[in-house]
Amino acid sequence: MFALGLVDCGRCPRGNGEERLSDQEIKTISSREVYRNKWTRVREDVIERASTGERGIYGVVDKSPACIIVPLESTPEGEFIYLVSQFRYTVGARYMELPQGSWEGVNVDPEELARGELREETGLVAARMTLLATQQIGYGVLNQQQSIFLAEGLTQGEHDRDAEESDLEVHRVRVAEFEAMLLDGRIVDNCSAAAWGIYRLWRERRTS
């Protein structure tokens, strides 16, 4: 059999009845910035691995904290969710996704950010915002947190989009259709999929 370098969690410290991972730290020897623009900072770090003592290079992309919003509307006709679509230059295609974004270089309260992004992109104002979780996006290379908010009690107002969002369109779809889109490839944004999964777990725990 192949040796995969698995950690024996039977020997790991435990707390609250749960298995805990061992801490094998990576030491930063030096760091230099190799690129910066309005939205992104890229640095290259020389690192040393605690397990072997060997040195290597780590490329890290730093971005400001972000948010993603699940704008949910409950009506007598059923549940609806608001999505946005825009052309994503990096993949050369237009896709639908949940409203999301960040305010570059600004330290801001996560709920204020979420309310601002929701209004800017869709014009929607939420009577209730619930923080569901905070996760890391692509932490193999990207250092960016994303707070997941549920937005309820929605009222429609005017959007206030940036120039980069001039082609953005808003779509109101049934929840069942949204879930079908996650499975059939019409939605490929992993943050949208993760946010919906977190919401479903949160809702199930509240009703169980």
- Angle ∠(120,81,178) on CA atoms, nearest 5: 120
- pTM for the whole thing? 0.85
CA atoms within 13 A on the CB side of 58: 21
Over residues 141-194, the pLDDT tens digits come to 999 999 999 999 999 988 877 766 678 899 999 999 999 999 999 999 999 999
Confidence band (pLDDT; 50, 70, 90) for 11? very low
Give the confidence band of 4 by pLDDT, cuts at 50, 70, 90: very low
pLDDT of 8 > 60? The answer is no
pLDDT over 70 at 83, yes or no: yes
